[in-house]
Amino acid sequence: MRFDVLVEVRLRPGIADPQGATIERALPALGFTGVSGVSVGKAFRLSIEAESAVDAEERAADLARRLLANPVIEDSWVTLLDPEPAP
């Protein structure tokens, strides 16, 4: 069965995020006040052939840790998207 997975990679807390800070400082120029905590990361969408949803999630988490994120500076989150209906 195929499972669509969203992997998000973000900088770990305490790691400087100059892109996020720059975006946050730019927002008031467009009138967006009161916006804080802007952080910049990456999003990956994958489709994984797996036995079960749990299996798909585990494999996605593993590949995220081992390739998509650099654990020295980044954390990763896996979200299972709605699976395709079984044929």
Partner 1 sequence: MTARVAIVVYPGSNCEHDAAEAVAALGGSADLVWHGATDLAGYDAVVLPGGFAHGDYLRPGAIARFSPVTSAVAAFARSGGPVVGICNGFQVLTEAGLLPGALQKNRGLAFLCTTVGLRVESTRSVLTSRAIEGQVLRIPINHFEGNYTCSIATLDELRDGDRVVLRYEVNPNGSVDDIAGICNEEGNVVGLMPHPERAIDDLLGSTDGRVLWAALLAGAPARR
Element of type H or E holding 22: helix 18-26
Q: 3-class DSSP state for residue 44?
A: strand
Binding site for partner 1 (CB under 8 A): 15-16, 18-19, 22, 67-68, 70, 72-73
Nearer to partner 1, 70 or 79 (CB): 70
Written as six digits, the tokens of 73 are 């500076």
In whole angstroms, how close is the CB of 73 to partner 1 at the nearest point? 5
Nearer to partner 1, 18 or 87 (CB): 18
In whole angstroms, how close is the CB of 18 to partner 1 at the nearest point? 5
Nearer to partner 1, 14 or 34 (CB): 14
Question: How many angstroms separate the CA atoms of 49 and 4, rounded?
Answer: 9
Question: How many angstroms separate the CA atoms of 70 and 35, rounded?
Answer: 28
